[in-house]
Amino acid sequence: QKEVEQNSGPLSVPEGAIASLNCTYSDRGSQSFFWYRQYSGKSPELIMSIYSNGDKEDGRFTAQLNKASQYVSLLIRDSQPSDSATYLCAVSPSGGSYIPTFGRGTSLIVHP
């Protein structure tokens, strides 16, 4: 059973701070990693994808991947109240059929 683990939170940070969200996965064959944001009552939307070890930056968001440690994280710099949402980590193997496994998500609250 492939597992993706996330702390359910909530993670509470003040406005302007860095929010750090973490995800571990069990399948060493995983090759594709995704972070989705899901506002309450809405559907998930993709924020970042990462496929290689290291960091990938996109605006205020940085995804970090460490395949040896089976660990992927998302950093949100200068957090805003509008970033308050549940962040879902999704992991999938390489090639063939793309069968993603989602974590349960981490709830982030950014307070003014």
Partner 1 sequence: EAGVAQSPRYKIIEKRQSVAFWCNPISGHATLYWYQQILGQGPKLLIQFQNNGVVDDSQLPKDRFSAERLKGVDSTLKIQPAKLEDSAVYLCASSIGTGQETQYFGPGTRLLVL
Give the number of other Cβ atoms within 10 Å of residue 6's Cβ: 20
Cβ proximity of 88 and 46 under 8 Å: no
Three-class secondary structure of residue 83 per DSSP: helix
- To partner 1, the closest distance from the beta carbon of 66 in angstroms equals 19
Nearer to partner 1 (CB atom), residue 1 or residue 112: 1
Interface contacts to partner 1, rule CB under 8 A: 4, 6, 8, 31-32, 42-46, 49, 51, 88, 90, 92, 96-105
- To partner 1, the closest distance from the beta carbon of 95 in angstroms equals 8
Nearer to partner 1 (CB atom), residue 43 or residue 69: 43
Instruction: Scan for tokens 């594709």, then name that residue.
Output: 32
- To partner 1, the closest distance from the beta carbon of 72 in angstroms equals 14
Q: Does the N-terminal peptide bond of residue 81 adopt cis geometry, omega within 30 degrees of 0?
A: no
